[in-house]
Amino acid sequence: MINHHTTNKNRAPRISQDTTNKDSYNKINTERGDTLIYAMGGLGEVGKNMYCFEHENEILIIDSGVRFPEDDLLGVDYVIPDYNYLVKNNRKRKILIITHGHEDHIGGIPFLLKSVDIEAIYAPAFAVALINKKLEERKMLRGVKIVEINDRSSVKMQHFTCGFFNTTHSIPDSLGILINTPNGRIVETGDFKFDLTPVGSNADYQVMAYMGQIGVDLLMSDSTNSGVADFSISEKKVAAEILDTMKKTDGRLIVATFASNVYRVSQILEAAVACGRKVIIFGRSMENVVTIGRKMGKIKVGEEHFLKPEQLSHTPASKTCIVCTGSQGEPLAALSRIANGTHRFIKLIPGDTVIFSSSPIPGNGASVNQVVNKLFKAGANVLTKSILGNLHTTGHASQEEQKLMLQLIKPKYFMPVHGEYKMLKQHKETAMETGIPEENIFTCANGDVLILRNHHVYESSFRIAADDIYVDGNDISGVSTAVLKDRKILADNGLVAAIIAIDSKENKVLCKPVIVSRGFVFIKDSQGLLKEAEMIVYDALKEKMKQRTTFSDLKNCVRSTLEPFLYNKTHRNPIVIPVIINSKAAMAAMAQARATRVNQRKTPRKPTTHEPS
């Protein structure tokens, strides 16, 4: 917890004496009356956005997102922030404001509400619809106060007053936020780009310029595309390219894009209708977004233009457009199932055209390539974004757009947010090009605390815990790193179980252990290795049981004997699980297990069979 020390606000900041950090000389202690700024997610990563502003007895939270796990996080569904600091400060009044409805900004709301007392959630219209759907599915809608906001709204707390301005993004109703605090003004942009010919509403350029004129102390701005030069392509150019491609395509069309990119989905549907095609939607998230988009008037395509799954086989290929999820190669998404030939309603036929109206998120390139290869093998024609075709554009500001935001807001201090570390550093360099002094730019990590005091920003000598919590299913207690380590070992090296029968009254091993492996070695080809392992464990246990011992000692004896032996023989480190049966009756079961394994060894192996280890 961050401590507040009573002091005179106008006194010079007190310098921390912590000598363990070489940069600690310019970090200061927090004092009563300071406004604290920190991220619980969104720094050093793309996703999990959650930015907090704390003043005395109030905490204002901007966004509550999730990050989707990398391939090495086996069995993990979501990565969320550690909410412990907020739980410890549950006595403080807290509200949550949402900038827009993408999962990396709203996906963590159900988990946050389970842990933290939130007085109310304020969100723009489209985000409200998505949040309601999310909470309704989890039966959490009752008791949650959700208030719809727009660019004319004002949210007032005791110490914070928030105003809003429209930004352009790939989803409707995207807002930036002006936060007035007792110590100065902060602007948090949310996700944005500058599109001079947007599909949806325009950004509030005049409002941004006005904020710059009245004075902004700290700007927190989206850094996702800091490494991309120039301006991004307009969404209307993408719309024209998709329409042109559809006009030139004779056969069946399959279009994959982000379900959350509502404007893109709307353009795809409108282009299909303009080309006389019926549309069918596959993918749960895509179906939800299209349903909500049509209900709110953001997608203006009538019911008569949609097909039901059972109608697909009776509709000519040239009159069909399939819009689906899976543009990032997700294994369970609709496009991956289509490519694998496992989709319930769609079988690829030669001549199908598949359009990827997206770009691979960093880390997803290999998964996307696998899907593309399978589509080509099935005879499909696959189109992706390239220098020859503008089938996708980003929803995030490129370098020149970031400079425009900096020039409009004219902040005294700058904190790049929403991006990996290299993106934050590149955004820092962009800010320096616009004239912000290097010492006024803060490249922070999750948990770092900035202090806003009398219109000046300082780094605090305190940090809060902001670790990742790995969620398996809906359990927010989190998957421990030990569990993830075990899953990795199981995936790479497999498991070996040593089953041991003992008589604790007589303090002796009743028979030789039985060793069983899964995913470690092929049992039929490794009988010699397993027999030798059994004898080594048997001898070690007999020696151990010459003296008084415990079950824990016996298990440690098995592990310390078996693990080095298996590594020396195979150079692999499987998980070793000792199973101790304390019963004479177990001897019969052990003998039966050994007999079964002998019979397996005698069974002739078919040369064409490929069995898993």
Gap between the Cα atoms of 79 and 70, Å rounded: 10
Place of tokens 């509030």: 204
Residue 10 lies in a domain: no
Question: Are 213 and 303 in a shared domain?
Answer: no
Question: Are 462 and 563 in a shared domain?
Answer: no
The one-character DSSP state at 360 is P
Question: Are 471 and 500 in a shared domain?
Answer: no
**Domain boundary residue among 356, 383, 410?**
383
Residue bearing the bigger pLDDT, 331 or 33: 33
Residue bearing the bigger pLDDT, 419 or 7: 419
Gap between the Cα atoms of 264 and 357, Å rounded: 8
pLDDT tier, 542 (very low <50, low <70, confident <90, very high otherwise) = confident
Helix (H, G, I), strand (E, B) or coil at 374: helix
- Computed over every residue of the chain, the mean pLDDT equals 86
Residue 263 lies in a domain: yes
Residue 22 lies in a domain: no
How much is the pLDDT for 396? 93
Structure tokens at 284: 């749960």
Which domain CATH number covers 587?
3.10.20.580
Q: How many CA atoms lie within 13 Å of 257's alpha carbon, on the beta-carbon side? A: 28
Backbone angles phi, psi at 136, to 5 degrees: -65, -40
Question: Are 76 and 183 in a shared domain?
Answer: yes
- The candidate with the shortest Cα–Cα distance to 130, out of 96, 157, 154, 107, is 107
Residue 245 lies in a domain: yes
pLDDT tier, 598 (very low <50, low <70, confident <90, very high otherwise) = low
Residue 277 lies in a domain: yes
- Pick out the residues of the known binding site for Zn(2+): 100, 102, 104-105, 169, 191, 418
- The DSSP element (H or E) to which 58 belongs, if any, is strand 58-62
**Domain boundary residue among 456, 479, 502?**
479
**Domain boundary residue among 383, 417, 450?**
383
Specify the number of domains making up the chain. 3
Question: Are 468 and 534 in a shared domain?
Answer: no
Q: Kindly report which listed range (26-35, 297-306, 516-525) carries the lowest average pLDDT score.
A: 516-525
Give pLDDT tens digits for 425-471.
Answer: 999 999 999 999 999 999 999 999 999 999 999 999 889 988 888 88
Question: Are 340 and 471 in a shared domain?
Answer: no
- The DSSP element (H or E) to which 514 belongs, if any, is strand 514-518
Question: Are 246 and 332 in a shared domain?
Answer: yes
Question: Are 472 and 485 in a shared domain?
Answer: no
When pLDDT is averaged across residues 599-606 and rounded to a whole number, the result is 54
Residue 117 lies in a domain: yes
Which domain CATH number covers 361?
3.40.50.10710
Question: Are 48 and 98 in a shared domain?
Answer: yes
Residue 372 lies in a domain: yes
Structure tokens at 437: 């002094």
Question: Are 375 and 332 in a shared domain?
Answer: yes
| Residues noted as catalytic | 222, 396
Provide the residue range defining the domain that includes 513.
481-602
Question: Are 252 and 366 in a shared domain?
Answer: yes
- Pick out the residues of the known binding site: 75, 77, 100, 102, 104-105, 169, 191, 259-261, 392-396, 418, 472
Question: Are 145 and 272 in a shared domain?
Answer: no
Which domain CATH number covers 147?
3.60.15.10
How much is the pLDDT for 11? 39
Residue 19 lies in a domain: no
